Amino acid sequence: MSFNLDDANIGAQLKVGTGIYPAIGEGLTRVNGSAGIEGPVVIGQPTHFPIPYATLNVAPLVNSDNLIPPFVPGALPLGLSNPYSICASANLAVMANLDVNFRIQAGGIIAGKIVHDFSGNFLAAKKDFDIPHPTKDDWRLRHVAPEAPTADVYIRGRVTNKTEIIFPTYWKGLVDWTTITVNLTPIGAHQNVIVKRIDEDKVYLQAHGGMPINCFYHIYGERQDCERNIAEYEGTSPEDYPGDNSQYLQSGKV
């Protein structure tokens, strides 16, 4: 049996199909204004889906009574995919897999623990920044962090009329001081500056003949709060790594 109605206002609850829907309540606990539909459901162009593709099938909007075409104004990157079939103006949670047939566009950061293609190639998670160019109009600037076989941190700066370079206090718990290396670049004149010694707190400098020291410095040290990286190892995939893989986000071919 079917009914043809011009309008239907349901003040309590709409149910289509059979079954009990705990999320919207039953009887005295029902949520007014809620609905339970067993599915499959088609929204939009009636013939867009020849068979049910999913429980909810959303097709393009083709209703001629709609006087304003669907359009998302500036909420997404340039609105490149307008018109949209679904628009969520709040957060959207996907509790299982999300399969995308074409491309993913984002106006911000796409974050994930591991990203790889269908061939099993893990995409290198480069550490970078991408900002509007500071001196050229309509240009952008992207820098990528260097990579090394060791988990290094560094500090740099200038030392003037001093014979010590003091490390940040947190380096004592972060850096293995026995791995520290120091590069010095004298400014203005050759001063024959040398590193006299290094301890957990500072670098001690000495210049020829007691000359005033004026130089730039780069100081590197390897982190001690994590496992030391094994740069080369025998194997055919990251799973063959002989160390603790849980400390790494691997890039390479599986």
pLDDT tens by residue, 59-117:
999 998 888 888 877 656 556 677 888 888 888 898 888 888 887 777 777 777 666 66
Give the count of alpha carbons within 13 A of 17, CB side only.
11
Q: What's the confidence (pLDDT) of residue 117?
A: 60
Hey, what amino acid is at 81? S
Strand partners, 153: 221
**How far from 186 is each of 154, 158, 213, 251, CA to CA, in Å?**
19, 10, 8, 39
Helices (H), the chain: 171-174
Q: What is the mean pLDDT of residues 110-131?
A: 64
pLDDT digits (tens, 9 = 90+) for 155-193: 999 999 999 999 999 999 899 999 999 999 999 999 999
**Would residue 33 be called left, alpha or beta, if left means φ above 0 and alpha means ψ between -120 and 50 degrees?**
left
pTM (2 d.p.): 0.52
